[in-house]
Amino acid sequence: MEAQFKNPHALMLRYGLLSILAFIVVCPLAWLALASLRPQSEIFQPVSEFGWSTFFPSRLTFDNYRALWASDFPLAVKNSTFVAVTTVIFGIVVNALAGFAFAAFDFRGKNLLFLLVIASFMMPFEAIVLPLYVMIRAFGWANSYQALIVPEIANGMVIFLFRQFFASIPRDFYEAARVDGASWLYIFTRIAMPLSWPTIATSGLMLFLSQWDSFFWPVVAASNPDYAVVQVAIARNINFEQSDWGGLFASTNLAILLGTIPFLLVQRFYVRTLISGGIK
């Protein structure tokens, strides 16, 4: 291994392959970011003759972004933000409570219930979208914020992560607080939760990404433009014959930034927790 590491050819090969792969990942993203800064008149021009101008606009302008203000995009951002933030807040509280129960208590049916939790995150949500839609329609929730938020709050993976964290705190710790007369709710809110901030950060990002990534459910449950989240609003714009390509470039690029920036901020915790959760 050492020899391989020091071999300059192997090193060059590794850098070369990594650079090609990173280029494949970044190229479409970078192209879109630059294309969104193009003047409307240049949108089609650069493709006919391939060269620098295919990627680099002759001048940079925020016109496409400014025009977005007048479109349906701000409403979609508002819907997405409201749905994601609400899901994150309720999701953290509800799933942390359950994770705490699995870690701190022994009770009848614990193993069976925990099995349900694990099974729930092994089954991708898409599998039940259509029957869930039938239910939601019966509740009278079709095209509402509830439809987008409530089914996404309880999350088996997040329960699992909180359980793992709370189980790493010795039970003596909880029991000492009990002896001092603390209620379980006090122990949960004042002792357990403040200690668990890395898990809170990871779970928050996970719940955010689950909303951010979901497409099938919002298309089915809330297709009305008043409740359309970002991904649905943008998908609608690429499907309809339209001429505002600049607007589509700008809104798509914004949607990418809205997802990647929080990800980059928390990715260290996120990646670590995801891996240990997924494998164990």
Partner 1 sequence: MMSSRWTPFLFLAPALAGLLIFRLVPIGVAVGGSLTGVSLMGDLRFVGAENFEYLLTDPQFWSSLKITLFFNVIINPLQLAVAFALAMLVFRPLPGLWLYRTLLVLPMAVSTGISAVLFGLFLDGNLGPLNGFLEWIGVGAQPFHRGQDQALYTLIGIATWKGAGYWMLFLLAGLYSIPSTVYEAATIDGASAWQRFRYVTLPLMRKPMAFVLVADTAINFLFFAPVYILTSGGPGGATSLLMFEAYRSAFTFSDIGRSLAISTILLGIILVIVVLEFRLLRSPEERA
Residues touching partner 1: how many (CB under 8 A)?
A: 105
Helix ranges (H only) for the chain are: 2-6, 8-35, 45-48, 52-55, 63-68, 73-104, 110-122, 129-139, 145-149, 156-167, 171-179, 184-186, 193-195, 197-213, 216-221, 230-239, 245-279
**Candidate list 83, 92, 101, 193; residue touching partner 1; CB under 8 A:** 101
Between 19 and 168, CB nearer to partner 1: 19
- Position 242 contacts partner 1 (CB under 8 A): no
CA 67 to chain centre: 27
Residues near 87 by beta carbon (within 8 Å), at least 6 away in sequence:
149, 152, 153, 207, 208, 210, 211
State how far the Cα of 211 lies from the Cα of 81, in Å rounded to an integer. 10
Range 36-95, binding partner 1 (CB under 8 A) = 43-44, 46-51, 54-55, 94-95
**Smaller CB distance to partner 1: residue 61 or 216?**
216
Site for partner 1 (CB under 8 A): which residue of 12, 89, 128, 176? 128
At residue 155, the 3 state secondary structure works out as coil
Is residue 280 part of the contact set for partner 1 (CB under 8 A)?
Answer: yes
Q: Which of residues 183-222 bind partner 1 (CB under 8 A)?
A: 184, 188, 209, 212-216, 219-220
Q: Does 133 bind partner 1 (CB under 8 A)?
A: yes
Closer CB to partner 1, 1 or 70, in the complex: 1
**Binding of residue 132 to partner 1 (CB under 8 A):** yes
Work out whether 243 is an interface residue with partner 1 (CB under 8 A): no
